[in-house]
Amino acid sequence: NAGVTQTPKFRVLKTGQSMTLLCAQDMNHEYMYWYRQDPGMGLRLIHYSVGEGTTAKGEVPDGYNVSRLKKQNFLLGLESAAPSQTSVYFCASSPLAGVETQYFGPGTRLLVL
């Protein structure tokens, strides 16, 4: 049981390049989330999904797209990276019922030059 895994762990992009971050969970959780963490700002929700085939915008969705084609995977895409998207990205998942814990992946550190 690996929990929540994220690929890659670290990436450097040039402005304008695109990339996809992959999140996978093996706990059969319904909900999945993408956050970004910036110094002094805590975690901010980018997009989330309440089930396979669904996505919704969070607090800071601009410049990002997501897809949840399979229940266990949640992809975060940057179509044209900008320096403002330099951050640490965390994926999390949560089961369906009740007030449950969010389980976090180890993070992806992204540097946009």
Partner 1 sequence: AQSVTQLGSHVSVSEGALVLLRCNYSSSVPPYLFWYVQYPNQGLQLLLKYTSAATLVKGINGFEAEFKKSETSFHLTKPSAHMSDAAEYFCAVSLGFQKLVFGTGTRLLVSP
Residue ranges in contact with partner 1 by CB under 8 A:
4, 31, 33, 40-45, 48, 50, 58, 90, 92, 94, 99-102, 104-107
Nearer to partner 1 (CB atom), residue 22 or residue 45: 45
State which residue, 63 or 107, has the beta carbon closest to partner 1. 107
Name the 3-class secondary structure at 102.
Answer: coil
Please state, in angstroms and rounded to a whole number, the distance separating the CA atoms of residues 96 and 80. 33
Write the secondary structure of 46-75 as one string of H (helix), E (strand) and C (coil): EEEECCCCCCEECCCCCCCEEECCCCCEEE
In 3D space, the residue among 112, 48, 51 whose CA is nearest the CA of residue 82 turns out to be 112
CB nearer partner 1, residue 69 or residue 99:
99
Cβ nearer to partner 1, comparing 19 with 50: 50
Rounded to the nearest whole angstrom, what is the least distance from the CB of residue 2 to partner 1 in the complex? 13
Task: Give the whole-angstrom CA distance, residue 73 versus residue 80.
Answer: 22
Shortest Å, Cβ 101 to partner 1: 5
Residue 15 C-beta: closest distance to partner 1, Å: 26
